[in-house]
Chain A
Amino acid sequence: MTDLSLEFCGIRYPNPFVLAAAPTTDKEEMVARAFEAGWGGAVLKTTSVETEDVSLVYPMMTGLDYDGKRLAALQNIDLISHYHIDVVEKRVRALKKEFPDRVVAASIMGQAKEHWQELVQRLETAGVDLIECSFSCPHGMPERGMGSTIGQNPDLVERTARWVKEAARRVPVVIKLTPQIADITVAAQAVKKSGADGVCAINTVKGIIGVDIHDFVPQPRVLDKSTIGGVSGLAIKPVALRCVAEIARDVGIPITASGGITTWRDAVEFLLLGARNLQVCTAAMQYGFELVKDLKEGLGNYMEEMNFSSVEEIVGKALPNLVDHNSLSRNHKVVSRVDEDRCINCGRCYIACNDGGHQAITMSEDRVPQIDEEECVGCGFCTTICPVYCLQMERVEEKS
C-alpha cells in the first residue's frame, strides 16, 4: 500500500488521519478501537486540573438537516471532558504501551499559568506525544475566561502559549484556534511568536442550529432553554479551508486541520491548502471509526492516480493558485455548456439561470436547456444546481 506517513511538528504520523478531541476520544477503549481501525493518531478529549468543575448539560447536540438528509452540520454545547488529568494520565500510559506507533496527543485547557504548566508536565511524564491547547471552545468556557476568550485576543494567545511551551521539555505544543476572530492569521502569528510548534485550525463555529418553532426554544434544548454553541461538520468546511489556507500562506506554521473533513476528497483539499495533519470529529462520530479505512484508501488511490509518491508532495500545492481578487483574470470569457446526452431534462438550470442568473437558458420543446452564449455572462450558478452534473463552464474566445 502507498506510504501515507507524514511529519507534523517533528512527529512522523503513520498516516495523517487523527481523531479530534471530542466524545470519540473520551474513553481509552474507544481510542484503542480507533487505532485498531487504523487512525494515525488521536487527540484525547480536552482535560483540565482536578479543581476545575465540569458540569455537563443534556442533551448537548442537535443536527442540521438538509434536503431530506441528516447532519449537514452539528451543534454541540458539550464542555471539556469530565475526566480530569489523573484519569487522562493513566489513559496516555496505557495507549502508548499498546500502540507505540500511533500518536497520542492530549488536549488541555486551564486558567492560571500554574494550571497550564502542571497539565503539560504531568502529561509529558505520562508519555504523551503532543500537547494541544484549546484556546477555542466557543461555549461555556468563555464565560469563565477560558476557551475562545483566549483565542480571540492575540496578546492572551501569545502569553498563554508561551507558558505552555516553557513548561514542555520534550513534546511539541499545538494551539487550537477559534475562527471567531476577524483575522485568524493574527492569532496564528501570535502562536508563532510564542515559540509554540503548530496550530490546529479550526475549532467549532459559534452558532445556533435551530429553534423549536412550536414552543420557541432554540436547540439543542436543555429542558426549556438553550444556549449558543459550536457548529461542526461538513457545513463548516469552507470556513476551515479558508482559515487553513490563510495561515499557511501568511504565517507559515505547521497546521493540523479540523472542520468538516468527511471524505478523502476533503482531506486532499486540506492538504493542498497547506495542512499537514487532518483531524476528524463529526464524520467519525457519524460514520464510525471504520471511516478511516475509506479515508486512507481514498487518499492512497488518489496519490497513485496523480503520481504522488509521498503525502508531503501534496501539502500546499494549491496555495500558489490562491490570489487576491484583483489579480484574477478579466480577459477571458466562459459560458455554460450542456452535455445533452447526460441531461435528464429536469429544467432546474433554467430556473436557476432565470431567477438567480442572467436569463440565458431557455428550454427546447423536448426539455433540453438551450444556452444563449451572448446572454450567458458565465456566472456558473447553473452548474451548481444540475443534479447530474451535465453543465460545465467552458472557455470561449478571448476578450480584448
Chain B
Amino acid sequence: MAEEKKLSKEAALFEAAGCLKCHQAPCQENCPAGIDIPGFIFKIKTGDIKGAKRVLYDKNIFSATCAAVCPVEELCQENCNKNQVSRSVFIGQLQGYAVEEGGDIDYPEEELTDDPRKIAVIGAGPAGMSGAYRLARAGHRVDLFEAGDRPGGTPYWGIPEWRLSREILEKETKEIEKHLNSVNFNTRIGVDIQVEELLKDYDALLVCCGLGDGASLRIKGAELEGTVDAVKFLKAHNTGENGVPSPEGKVVLIIGGGNTAMDAALAAKEAGAERSIVVYRRSWEEMPAWKAEIRKAIDSGVEFMLQTAPVEIVGRDKVEAMKMVPTRLVREKEGRRPRPVPLEGSEFVFPAGLIITALGQMENPLVEKLQDQEQVFFAGDAAGGDATVVQAVAGGKEAAEKIMVFFREQKERGV
C-alpha cells in the first residue's frame, strides 16, 4: 500500500477537486481521530499543502504513520457520501500527499500548567506516545516506560515495512520524545519496576501496554519444532531477530483469517517460502482481515485454503505435515457468523515445513494487575477496542484528557 499510495501533485489536485466538502462530513465522523477531512482536502485544492498538513497534525500526532497504515476503506472512505454516486474520495492517499508535501510544520507551542502532579505512561506504542504527548503539551511531567529498546510499539515490530516505512514512524516518535520528562526503554513494568512502586510515585498511570502473547493452538503436535506464533514470527522477521525457524524453501501454512495472518503469510513469502498458504475455517465473507490486506495477499501469490480446519500437526520430532478437515458452515442465528462444522471422515494430510498460528493475541497480564484503581487509565489495545493505530492514537489522547479532568476534580475536592 505505502508505495501505491503516492500521488503526484496533479493527481492530488484532481482528487481533492472531487471532494464535496460535506456538512457534518460522515468521513470525519468515521475517523477515530476526528480529523477535519473536508477541511484538509479543501486546503490541498487551494494549494495550501502546509495548511492541510497542520489540519492533520492538529488532531493526529501520528498523521504520517496513519496515512500509511490506516484501513481507510473500513473507516473514512467507507462513509464518503460520494460512494452513492461514484466512488469515495481517496482520502488516505490525499493524507499521504499532504504529510509528504506539506514541508516542516511547527508543532504547537506548549501550554503551561502549574499543576506539579506527575504521570507515568506505560508502553511507547501509538496510544502511549499520543497520550504522553497530550499530557506533556499541557505542561505535565510525564515519564514513559517501555519494555522494548525503542518506541513505536506494534507498528515498529508488527506492521510490515512495505506498508509503513520505519523512517516515517521514527520521525514522529522522535518529535514526541522531545516533549517528555523522561523516556525509559528496556523497562518492563511488573518486572524491572513493580506496579506498586509506580502507584506510589505517580499521581496517575496511563496504561498503554497493548496486547499480550498470541493465543496457542490446542491440537495434537502443536508443541513440535516448526510451529511458531505469528506475533513472534513477525517480530523476528521485521526486526531481524533470530530464534524462529526460517520459512525459506518450505511450504508454510498460516492458520487464521485476520490481518496478522495476512501479514505473516506475506512475510513468509517475502522470506522465501516455497508456498505460503492461509488455512481458514470459514469463507471469504467471514474473514476478519481488511479487504485491502486480502487483496495484497492474493496479489503477492499467497494461497488460501478456506473452510478448512486444522486437526493435528504431524511429524516425528519436527513438523512434517498437517492433518486438516474441510468444514461446512452452519448459520445458527441471523446476524451471527456461521459456525464451521467439520466434515467427519474427509480428513487429509498436507505436507508442510512450517506452521504459523495467527489466532489472535491474548490480554496483556499487566491489565489484570492494574484493574479498578482510581488513578489508573487505559488506552489503545490494552483498553480493548478496534485494534488500529488511529484508534490507539485517539484513545491515548482521550485518556490524557480524562486524566486532566481527574486532576481538576481532585483539586476541587481538595485532594
Contacts and interface: CB of A to CB of B under 8 A. Distances in A.
A346 B45 contact: no
A350 interface: yes
Nearest to A349: B23
Given A344-B81, A344-B85, A388-B85, A350 B23 contact: yes
Nearest to A361: B23
B45 A68 contact: yes
Nearest to B19: A68
Contacts of B84: 344-345
B324 interface: no
B14 interface: yes
A363 interface: yes
Interface string B1-41: 00000000000011011101111101000000000000000
Given A68-B45, A348-B21, A367-B24, 16 more contacts: A68-B13, A68-B16, A69-B17, A344-B82, A345-B22, A345-B26, A346-B20, A346-B22, A347-B22, A347-B23, A347-B24, A348-B23, A350-B23, A363-B24, A387-B85, A388-B85
A351 B82 CA distance: 18
Nearest to A347: B23
A224 interface: no
Contacts of A69: 17
Listed from nearest, the 10 A-B pairs whose CB atoms lie closest are A68-B17, A347-B23, A344-B84, A346-B22, A346-B20, A344-B81, A346-B81, A351-B23, A350-B23, A387-B20
Contacts, number: 37
B17 A348 contact: no
B26 A67 contact: no
Interface residues of B, number: 16
B18 to A, nearest CB: 8
Contacts of A367: 24, 26
A351 B38 CA distance: 14
A69 B20 CA distance: 14
Contacts of B81: 344-346
B14 A68 contact: yes
Contacts of B24: 347, 363, 367
Contacts of B21: 348
A350 B18 CA distance: 19
Chain A residues touching B, majority SS: loop
A344 B24 CA distance: 13
A205 B159 CA distance: 58
Contacts of B85: 344, 387-388
B30 to A, nearest CB: 13
Contacts of A346: 20, 22-23, 81
Most buried by A among B17, B20, B45: B20
Interface in A40-64: none
A260 B16 CA distance: 27
Nearest to B45: A68
Interface string B62-96: 00000000000000000001101100000000000
Contacts of B20: 346, 348, 387
Interface string A329-366: 00000000000000011111011000000000001000
Nearest to A344: B84
A346 B45 CA distance: 18
Interface string A371-400: 000000000000000011000000000000
Nearest to B14: A68
B23 A67 contact: no
A67 B41 CA distance: 12
Among A346, A351, A363, which residue has the most Cβ atoms of chain B within 10 A?
Answer: A346
Given A344-B81, A346-B81, A363 B23 contact: yes
Contacts of A363: 23-24
Contacts of B16: 68
A344 B26 CA distance: 11
A363 B20 CA distance: 17
Contacts of A388: 85
